[in-house]
Chain A
Amino acid sequence: MSLAAAAVTAHAAGTHALAAHAAPSNGSHGFLSPTGVEITFLLVGLVTFGAALVTVTTRQLVHAALWLVVALGGLAVEYLLLTAEFIAWVQVLIYVGSVVVLLLFGLMLTRAPIGRSPDADSGNRWAALAVAAVAAVTLVWVVVDAFRTTWIDLDGPAAGSTEATGESLFQNWVLPFEGLSVLLLAALVGAIVLSRKAKAEPGSPSVNSGAATGSSPSVPDSRNHPIGRNGASEGTGSGASEGTTPAEQEGAR
């Protein structure tokens, strides 16, 4: 499930942020005389970490998505504190503005009961924990190993300004950048191919066929494309997801 995956990423990223703190703090003024920025960094890191933990442990699905907003926003603040302004705003733009909105859209389209969902627990809890721990350890190890001797001068000119980021990206890292672009293009083409296939199948009307029959297109279309957790196994059958979701909301409280 994408939510769990995203949460694990946030979790790992939270740990990653904490680890990154260790590097600048034993800089010129020693570990035990931190500056205001470093204290703020640590506090925001703790908040981010806490929000990430709540994201993966809460039983309320939509709350998990909203806590994810806090975690991702906290990461953006960390980037800001490390003078990487451009990265910070892109983080907000992509993750808070788009990914979480997509996540909420998927949740609301399928099932988003008010209150706790007793079945929101996965049997893979320990496997997920193991994967998260391994990912966190790997990330911490890579970051500490890679940036062991790199210091960010917080008082000087911004090391992560848009100009600096752009120059290093398009002078030193052009090849990985282009490689990633091709990867994204492949994903885009793949998505189009998948959606075309679904259209050709008999019995699953396309987006526009709803309009042709005169009914509101967005509503009936979603019945045939339950996103993520399938409604059938939950006993909601092939009924309209919009129709049952508020009913579930009422039943759940």
Chain B
Amino acid sequence: MNDALDVTLRLLIVFVVFLTFPLLVGQTEHKVMAHMQGRLGPMYAGGFHGWAQLVADGVKFAQKEDVVPAGADRRIFQLAPAVALLPYLLVLLAIPIGPGEGAVGEVVDAGIFFVLAVMGVGVLGSLMAGWASANKFSLLGGLRTAAQLLAYELPMLLTAASVAMAAGTVSLVGILDAFEWWWLPWQIVGAIVFFVAGLAELQRPPFDMPVADSEIIFGAYTEYTGLRFALFLLAEYAGIVVLCGLTAVLFLGGWHGPWGADGLGWVWTLLKTAVLAFIVIWLRVTYPRLREDQLQKLSWTLLVPLSLAQIALTGIVKVVIQ
């Protein structure tokens, strides 16, 4: 009975995190973008600096009519948002937030593979949406999504493999247990490649060619309205949380910190995740969109060689220190 209670509690906590953290990132994005662009951002909803703006947005989305285009493939069109969103919920289960086995939703033996595999499934949602909408812009968006995923999956996997080699395990909990501070300079190239490839997989600016709103409206999500559209947006922000959490755990040492690692480990994890999320927003405000060919070129001619070099470096150092 105690076990069941424990599991339920964990699932509940992960679910609450899944529902609130993306909204936090979204609200931060509103405000940070506004201030970087010399304006205030939302100021009215909720009173204090527009803190309830996203709640108001949610109410607005819930009130809108849920339209399925007449020419669309109805079932797949309706299923797509769920396929895009649910994988991130599953991934959150496996990300350890503090030391010990108690601070993770579910210990997964092959954690890295689980996380990357399930994240890859989420992209199917965009593809389904792009095809089932029966819309040229959506189809183009779906195509670009697929091309982008195929290009950036490889560097992401390779750099994650580099960390796994360094730690000698593929379990996320095990990687954190093995972490030393000097991994930071050792794996820094891998960290950057992983983060950039993750951004591209989430289709965040500057890698937002698949949803480029100034040329193909909103890519695969063009035909969506109301709650289903909100689910896609939520998937994007949940993806930011997951990517930043993963980068923090794999490359930045997760709950390790200069002090207070015993009781306050989870604060370090959250802090690192928050800083990374801020960088994600910062990049959106700073960089222009990459063109499709530039996007492919960046992956195949820069990120893949860099990640291979990182693996070679990891291997050499690993052999030398043994």
Interface positions, chain A 103-135, Cβ under 8 Å from B, are: 104-105, 107-109, 112, 114-115
List the B residue with the shortest CB-CB distance to A83. Answer: B109
Q: From A92, A93, A107, name the one whose CB has the most chain B CB atoms within 10 angstroms.
A: A93
User: What residues make up the interface of B, taking CB atoms closer than 8 Å to A?
Assistant: 71-73, 76, 108-110, 113-114, 116-118, 120-121, 123-124, 127-128, 130-132, 134-136, 139-140, 142-144, 146-147, 149-150, 153, 157, 169-171, 291-293, 296
The answer on a CB contact under 8 Å between B132 and A114 is yes
Contact residues on A (Cβ < 8 Å of other chain), bracket? 35 or more
The answer on a CB contact under 8 Å between A100 and B124 is yes
> How many whole Å from A159's CB to the nearest CB in chain B?
12
Instruction: Please name 20 pairs of A and B residues whose Cβ atoms are closer than 8 Å in the assembled complex, sorted by A.
Output: A62-B73, A62-B131, A62-B132, A63-B76, A89-B114, A92-B120, A97-B116, A101-B124, A104-B131, A105-B143, A108-B127, A108-B130, A108-B143, A114-B72, A114-B132, A207-B293, A216-B292, A218-B143, A218-B292, A246-B139
The answer on a CB contact under 8 Å between A245 and B293 is no
> How many whole Å from A61's CB to the nearest CB in chain B?
10
> How many whole Å from B149's CB to the nearest CB in chain A?
6
How many angstroms between the C-alpha atoms of A105 and B141 in the bound complex? 11
List the A residue with the shortest CB-CB distance to B114. Answer: A89
User: Given A108-B142, A242-B140 in contact, is the A93-B113 Cβ separation under 8 Å?
Assistant: yes
> How many whole Å from B98's CB to the nearest CB in chain A?
23
Question: Which are the 10 A-B pairs with shortest beta-carbon distances?
Answer: A97-B120, A93-B117, A89-B113, A105-B146, A92-B117, A246-B136, A217-B293, A218-B292, A86-B110, A89-B117
The answer on a CB contact under 8 Å between B139 and A101 is no
A171 within 8 A of partner (CB): no
> How many whole Å from A208's CB to the nearest CB in chain B?
6
List the B residue with the shortest CB-CB distance to A112. Answer: B131
The answer on a CB contact under 8 Å between B150 and A66 is no
Pick from A85, A93, A218, A245: contact of B139, CB under 8 Å: A245
A interface majority secondary structure = helix
The answer on a CB contact under 8 Å between A98 and B153 is yes
How many angstroms between the C-alpha atoms of A211 and B296 in the bound complex? 12
How many angstroms between the C-alpha atoms of A253 and B157 in the bound complex? 40
B interface majority secondary structure = helix
List the A residue with the shortest CB-CB distance to B171. Answer: A162
The answer on a CB contact under 8 Å between B113 and A161 is no
The answer on a CB contact under 8 Å between A161 and B144 is no
The answer on a CB contact under 8 Å between B146 and A97 is no
> How many whole Å from A115's CB to the nearest CB in chain B?
8
How many angstroms between the C-alpha atoms of A96 and B116 in the bound complex? 12
Q: Hey, which chain B residues are within 8 Å of A219, CB to CB? A: 140
Interface positions, chain A 203-237, Cβ under 8 Å from B, are: 207-208, 210-211, 216-219
Identify 4 new A-B residue pairs, CB closer than 8 A, beyond the known A63-B76, A246-B135. A114-B73, A158-B109, A162-B171, A219-B140
Interface string of A79-100 (1 = CB under 8 A from B): 0000001100110110011101
> How many whole Å from B94's CB to the nearest CB in chain A?
10
A71 within 8 A of partner (CB): no
Q: Hey, which chain B residues are within 8 Å of A108, CB to CB? A: 127, 130-131, 139, 142-143, 146
Q: Hey, which chain A residues are within 8 Å of B150, CB to CB? A: 98, 101-102, 105
User: Given A66-B76, A218-B292 in contact, is the A162-B120 Cβ separation under 8 Å?
Assistant: no
Q: Hey, which chain A residues are within 8 Å of B149, CB to CB? A: 101
How many angstroms between the C-alpha atoms of A143 and B127 in the bound complex? 36
A250 within 8 A of partner (CB): yes
> How many whole Å from B86's CB to the nearest CB in chain A?
13
How many angstroms between the C-alpha atoms of A108 and B146 in the bound complex? 10
List the B residue with the shortest CB-CB distance to A84. Answer: B110
Q: Hey, which chain A residues are within 8 Å of B116, CB to CB? A: 93, 97
A181 within 8 A of partner (CB): no
The answer on a CB contact under 8 Å between B146 and A101 is yes
> How many whole Å from A211's CB to the nearest CB in chain B?
5
The answer on a CB contact under 8 Å between A208 and B293 is yes
Q: Hey, which chain B residues are within 8 Å of A63, CB to CB? A: 76
> How many whole Å from B62's CB to the nearest CB in chain A?
28
A17 within 8 A of partner (CB): no
The answer on a CB contact under 8 Å between B292 and A217 is yes
Pick from B72, B109, B144: contact of A162, CB under 8 Å: B109
A249 within 8 A of partner (CB): yes
Q: Hey, which chain A residues are within 8 Å of B114, CB to CB? A: 89
A69 within 8 A of partner (CB): yes
Q: Hey, which chain A residues are within 8 Å of B128, CB to CB? A: 66
Q: Hey, which chain B residues are within 8 Å of A217, CB to CB? A: 291-293
Q: Hey, which chain B residues are within 8 Å of A211, CB to CB? A: 291, 293
Pick from A66, A85, A90, A92: contact of B118, CB under 8 Å: A92
> How many whole Å from A112's CB to the nearest CB in chain B?
6
The answer on a CB contact under 8 Å between A114 and B293 is no
> How many whole Å from B214's CB to the nearest CB in chain A?
13
How many angstroms between the C-alpha atoms of A219 and B121 in the bound complex? 25
The answer on a CB contact under 8 Å between B109 and A242 is no
Q: Hey, which chain A residues are within 8 Å of B108, CB to CB? A: 85
Interface positions, chain A 175-219, Cβ under 8 Å from B, are: 207-208, 210-211, 216-219
List the A residue with the shortest CB-CB distance to B79. Answer: A66
List the B residue with the shortest CB-CB distance to A104. Answer: B127
> How many whole Å from B296's CB to the nearest CB in chain A?
8
